[in-house]
């Protein structure tokens, strides 16, 4: 008897429950999209939903942004764009997606934990999508009259923000000189003179022979090349609200139940 593999495969497929078939189909589609994205754009997950208004009016909350992986492109800063005429989202210079302080991206379980109101790991964060203004080398001032850069990297800013990311923060005080050595298991180096305190979620900065304790987007810290995930290329307006709705609903319920 001659076997007919396609017919046998279809017969076995039809035996599966409808929900299982749907899950397999969705997984296959997502896998194909991710594979095509990796081949063409150099990144597995190229679509990012804008979550804040820091890039208004050029990128709005709910916009879906298509990102090209940094391995497949290079960054043109605002300084370079002004000289060459290179524009991205209506202004000179590229808009980049980066991991603040080199923190890992939030995973699915982290996102679920956030919806449940649980504290997120201090070494993970939502990537920032801001414009690259200029490059600085180690020892150069991060802004006019500002402190020296501890290492080379990008100075970044949201188009709607008044100050650059490297000035958007707060210093709470000076750490005890022995703090770094007394807490080796909870201190994560992220660059020369910069550490994450995994216990408190704060950042430690070595500035002027002192170790300062503070917080911020990328406060007193240029964005290192290896922290850049990719460059924003296109946007689809407002579709990303579908991705943001669970978090928005969770925040609304917290405010209502908490009386705020």
Residue 150 covered by a domain: yes
Q: Examine the pLDDT at 133 and tell me if it is beyond 90.
A: yes
Residue 1 covered by a domain: no
pLDDT above 70 as % of the chain: 71
Residue 191 covered by a domain: yes
**Residue 177: what pLDDT?**
82
Same domain, yes or no: 209 and 233: no
* Burial (CB count within 10 angstroms: exposed 0-12, middle 13-18, buried 19+), residue 252: exposed
Same domain, yes or no: 19 and 126: no
222, two tokens: 């240029």
**Residue 184: what pLDDT?**
84
pLDDT tens readout for residues 190-247: 999 999 999 989 999 999 889 999 999 999 999 999 999 999 999 988 775 555 555 5
**Residue of 40 and 124 predicted with greater confidence:** 124
Same domain, yes or no: 19 and 104: no
Length of the chain, in residues:
260
DSSP secondary structure of 103-149:
PEEP-HHHHHHHHTTPPPPTTEEPPEEEEEEEEE-TTSBSSTT-PBP
CA distances from 215 to 101, 126, 221, 227 (A): 11, 15, 11, 18
Cβ neighbour number for residue 148 with a 10 Å cutoff = 14
User: How many domains does one find in the chain?
Assistant: 3
Q: Examine the pLDDT at 55 and tell me if it is beyond 70.
A: yes
Residue 95 covered by a domain: yes
Same domain, yes or no: 238 and 117: yes
* Burial (CB count within 10 angstroms: exposed 0-12, middle 13-18, buried 19+), residue 13: exposed
Same domain, yes or no: 162 and 101: yes
Residue 74 covered by a domain: yes
**Residue 119: what pLDDT?**
75
Same domain, yes or no: 126 and 238: yes
**Residue 9: what pLDDT?**
62
- Residue 135's pLDDT band, with cuts at 50, 70 and 90, is very high
Residue 223 covered by a domain: no
Q: Rounded distance, CA 35 to CA 42, Å?
A: 9
At 43 the three-state DSSP class reads coil
Q: Rounded distance, CA 260 to CA 252, Å?
A: 9
**Residue of 155 and 32 predicted with greater confidence:** 155
Beta bridge partners of 214: 171, 203
For 29, the domain range is 7-41
HSE-CB of 238 using CA atoms within 13 angstroms: 0
- Segment 88-98 shows an average pLDDT of 98
Same domain, yes or no: 62 and 152: yes
Listed residue (185, 189, 232) closest to 211, CA to CA: 189
pTM of the model: 0.78
Same domain, yes or no: 122 and 148: yes
- Cis check for the bond before 57: say yes or no (omega within 30 of 0): yes
pLDDT tens readout for residues 181-199: 888 889 999 999 999 999 9
Q: Rounded distance, CA 57 to CA 18, Å?
A: 44
pLDDT tens readout for residues 142-170: 999 999 999 999 999 999 999 999 999 99
Listed residue (215, 188, 219, 217) closest to 203, CA to CA: 215
Residue 180 covered by a domain: yes
Same domain, yes or no: 160 and 81: yes
Residue 221 covered by a domain: no
- Sequence-ordered list of residues with C-beta below 8 angstroms from that of 61, at least 6 positions apart, any chain: 50, 51, 52, 53, 240, 241, 244
Average model confidence (pLDDT) for the chain? 83
């Amino acid at each position: 008897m001659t076997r007919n593999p396609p017919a046998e495969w279809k017969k076995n497929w039809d035996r599966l429950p409808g929900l299982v078939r749907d899950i397999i189909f969705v997984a296959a589609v997502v896998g194909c999209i991710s594979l095509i994205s990796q081949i063409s754009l150099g990144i597995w997950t190229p679509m990012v939903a804008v979550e804040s208004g820091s890039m208004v009016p050029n990128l709005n909350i709910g916009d879906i942004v298509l990102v090209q992986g940094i391995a497949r492109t290079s960054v043109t800063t605002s300084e370079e764009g002004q000289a060459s005429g290179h524009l991205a989202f209506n202004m000179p210079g590229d808009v980049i997606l980066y991991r603040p302080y080199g923190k890992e991206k939030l995973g699915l379980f982290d996102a679920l934990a956030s919806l449940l109101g649980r504290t997120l790991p201090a070494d993970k964060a939502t990537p920032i999508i801001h414009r690259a203004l200029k490059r600085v080398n180690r020892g150069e001032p991060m802004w006019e009259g500002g402190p020296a850069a501890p290492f080379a990297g990008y100075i970044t800013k949201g188009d709607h923000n008044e100050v650059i990311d490297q000035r958007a923060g707060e210093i709470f005080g000076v750490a005890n000189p022995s703090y770094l050595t007394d807490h080796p298991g909870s201190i994560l180096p992220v660059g020369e003179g910069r550490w994450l305190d995994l216990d408190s979620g704060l950042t430690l900065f070595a500035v002027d022979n002192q170790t300062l304790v503070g917080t911020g987007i990328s406060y007193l810290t240029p964005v290192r090349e290896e922290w850049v995930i990719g460059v924003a290329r296109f946007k689809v307006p407002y579709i990303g609200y579908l991705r943001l709705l669970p978090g928005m609903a969770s925040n609304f319920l917290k405010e209502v139940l908490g009386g705020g």
